[in-house]
Amino acid sequence: MCGGDLASGQTVTVTVDVGYNDQASNPFVHTYHPDHDNLAADFKTVQPVGRESYRIRREIKLTFEPPGSGFASLTRTGRQLLGTYEETMTLFGLATSGPANEKSYAMKGAFALNRISDIATLETE
């Protein structure tokens, strides 16, 4: 789920949910490691969430700086967006819900997005 405008002075929020068995996106799942494949010792029975890997929710907020009036700001207009990145990542453990089986981590930093092309839609020939 994503909301907001990708523009100076605006905020974009994104929520990303990663399943506990999503092998392509979940860093806790390893197909060829028996302790992290979400399978029991018989390699057939699927383990519940939190037994070998976690469900992940990432709540991301990008806050873009408003346009400035200085030389650097005026010359990068339309070519670069600067701002603050904030994220809360929550790991969900065993199938029972509640704070005892959840752990959250907060991160914050700066970012810069650079426009490399004015073409709105890239196409192949």
Per-residue pLDDT in tens (0 to 9) along the chain, 125 residues: 688 888 888 999 999 999 888 888 888 887 777 666 767 777 777 777 767 788 899 999 999 998 777 777 666 666 888 999 999 999 988 756 666 788 899 999 999 998 888 787 888 87
Tell whether 40 is covered by a domain. no
Residues spanned by the domain of 103: 2-20+54-114
> Quick check: is 28 in a domain?
no
- Examine residue 97 and state whether it is found in any structural domain, yes or no: yes
In a domain, 29, yes or no: no
- The partner residues of 92 in beta bridges, in order of sequence, read 55, 102
Tell me, yes or no, whether 48 lies in a domain.
no
How far apart, in whole angstroms, are the C-alpha atoms of residue 100 and residue 103?
8
CA angle, residues 114, 115, 117, in degrees to nearest 5: 150
The pair of three-digit structure tokens given for residue 92, joined into one six-digit string? 């969900």
> What is the C-alpha separation between 111 and 106, in angstroms, rounded?
16
Distance in angstroms (rounded) separating the CA atoms of residues 23 and 28 = 8
- Distance in Å from the first CA to the final CA of the chain: 32
Name residue 70's amino acid. Answer: G
Does residue 81 sit within a domain?
yes
- Structural domain includes residue 45: no
Specify the DSSP element, H or E, that contains 75.
Answer: helix 71-75
Does any domain span residue 34?
Answer: no
As for how many domains the chain has, the answer is 1
pTM score: 0.74
